[in-house]
Structure 1
Amino acid sequence: MGLFINNNEHPEVYKNTHPSETSNQVISRQDFLSELMKEQQKANAALEKALSELGFKTRIQEETQLTHWNYVGEQLVDLRKRLDSNEDTNHQLIVQMNEQLELQKEFAETLTKQEEFQAGVLQRLDTQEALIDKITRQINHIRSILFERTNYLAAKIDEGYKITSSYVYKLMTGSDQPLTFLLMKDKKEENQKQTD
C-alpha cells in the first residue's frame, strides 16, 4: 500500500516538493555474475583501448626505429666507403713511403761509396804529395850535386886549359911567360885604344 495524502483537508502533509535522494527500498537483489561480466567488459574495453594505443605507439616507434636504422645503415655505408677510400689512400702512401725509403737507402749507399772513394783519393793525394816532396828533395839534392860537380869540372877544365895553353904557347914561342900575362897585355892595349 502506498502513502496516502489527503489533498482536500491537509494537502501539504507528507508531501515533499523536492525529489527524494534516497530509496525507500530496504532489500535489493544483486546479480554478482552480471556485475562481474559488466566489470570484465569494462576492463576488456579498457585493455583493448590500451592495447590499441600501445599498438599505435609501437607502430610509430617501429617506423621511427626503422627510419633511424635506415639512416644508421646509410651512415655505415658512407663510412665504409670513406674507410675503403682511406685504406686505398693509406696503401698508396705506404707504397710511396717504401719507395722513398728505398731511394734514401740507395742514396745513402751511394753516398757511403762516394765518401769511401773520396777517402781513397785523399789518401792517394797524401801519398802523391809525400812522393812529390821526396822527389823534390831528391831533385834539389841532385841539383846541388850537379852544381858542385859542374863548378869542380869547370875549375878543372879552366885549370887544364891554362896548363895546356901555357904549354902550347911555350912550344910555339919559346917564352917562359905564361899565356895569361900575354892575354892580359893584349886586353890592356885594346882598352887603351878604345879610350884614345
Structure 2
Amino acid sequence: MGLFINNSEHPDVYKNKQNPQASNQVISRQDFLSQLIYEQQKANTALKKTLSELGMQSQHQEESHLNQWNHVGNQLNDLQSRLERYEDANHNLALQLNKQLELQKEISKKMTKQEEFQGGVLQRLDNQEALMDKISRQINHIRSILFERTNYLTTKIDDGYKITSSYVYKLMTGSDQPLTFFLMNNKQEENQINSD
C-alpha cells in the first residue's frame, strides 16, 4: 500500500525534497489472507479477461466457420446446378452419339453394298476387257487376211490388166512387143521433150 499525503490539510507532512538514502521502515506487517484475496482477485481478473478473449475468439471462429459453411454451401449449390447442366448435356450428347452410330451402321451397310456392286462392275469390266482383247485379236487377224487377199487380188488384177492391155495393144498395132515397152518409149520421149 502506497504512502498517503493529504495535500489539502497537511501538504508538507512526509515530504522531503531530497532522495532518501534508505528505507526508514523497520517493521512490516503482512496480512496473508488479504494478500491471498488480492492475488485471487488478480487471478480472477486475468481469468475473466482470458475467458472474455476466448469468448470473443470463439465467436469470431464461429462467425468465420459460419461464413465458410455458407460459402461451401453456395459452392455445393453451384456445383449441383452445374452437374445438372452437365447431366443434361451428357444425355443430349449420348443421344447424338447413338444417332451417329446408327448413321454409321447404315453408311457401313451401304458401303458394303457399294463394294459388292463395284466388285461386280470390276468383274464385268475384266470380262469386257478380255472380250475386247479377243475382238481386237480377231480384227487384227481379219485385217491381215484382208491385206493378204487385197494384195493377192491386186496382183491378180494387175496381171490381168497387163495381159488384157497387151492383147488389146497387139490387136490394135499388130506388134508383138509388150505394152510396157511402148509405155517406156513414150515416157522417154516425154522426158526428152521436157528437157529440151
TM-score by length of 1: 0.54
Secondary structure (helix, strand or coil) at the match of 1:157 reads helix
Deviation at 1:161, TM superposition (A): 0.3
Match of 1:190 in 2: 190
Larger Cα-atom Rg: 1
Which one-letter code corresponds to 2:187 in the other structure? K
Identity among equivalent pairs (%) = 72
Segments of structure 1 that go 5 or more residues without pairing to the other structure are 1-70
Superposed CA RMSD in Å reads 2.7
Deviation at 1:124, TM superposition (A): 2.1
Match of 1:156 in 2: 156
Match of 1:101 in 2: 101
Match of 1:123 in 2: 123
Aligned length: 124
Distance 1:80 1:106 in 2: 39
Write out per-residue CA displacement over residues 84-107 of structure 1, whole angstroms, 9 at most, x where no aligned residue: 666544443332221111011011
Aligned positions of 1:39-58 closer than 5 A: none
Secondary structure (helix, strand or coil) at the match of 2:108 reads helix
Deviation at 1:190, TM superposition (A): 1.2
1:140 aligns with 2:140: yes
Write out per-residue CA displacement over residues 36-91 of structure 1, whole angstroms, 9 at most, x where no aligned residue: xxxxxxxxxxxxxxxxxxxxxxxxxxxxxxxxxxx9xx99xx69877766654444
Distance 1:86 1:179 in 2: 112
Distance 2:102 2:142 in 1: 59
TM-score by length of 2: 0.54
Deviation at 1:138, TM superposition (A): 1.3
